[in-house]
Amino acid sequence: MPETPKKAGGRRIIWQNVLTVVSAAILISAEVFGAAFAGGWAVASLFEFGIDGVHVIQAIFFGVRAPCQRGRAVPDQALSAAAKSLARCR
């Protein structure tokens, strides 16, 4: 029976893929931050809470956003698919 070929070395990190995943994470985080900022402004303006109300509503929206991002390492399904794809390339 023929021997199975052995790998010539350890696993290598493909830095371009790592950079892509990190860049996507930064982009998604910035979008979530912007949505919380704009949403707080819009809701506070709708109910005429004034400038202090805008800051309070934005703080609430930021507070809701933070646990959602801390709860998982990959904040988006597309990013999760990219990470799985990266794992298959190893």
Model confidence over 39-78: pLDDT tens digits? 999 999 999 999 998 988 888 888 776 555 555 544 455 5
What pLDDT is recorded for position 7?
A: 60
Q: Which residue has the tokens 């609430």?
A: 60
Rounded to 5 degrees, φ, ψ at 6 are: -100, 150
- What global pTM score does this model have? 0.51
Q: What is the average pLDDT across 76-81?
A: 54
- Is the pLDDT at 8 greater than 90? The verdict is no
Mean pLDDT of the chain: 75
- Report DSSP state, residue 89: T
Tokens describing residue 8? 């010539």
C-alpha neighbours within 13 Å on the C-beta side of residue 83: 14
Query: Among 69, 67, 70, 45, which residue's Cα sits nearest to residue 58?
Result: 45
Two tokens, residue 22: 């990190």
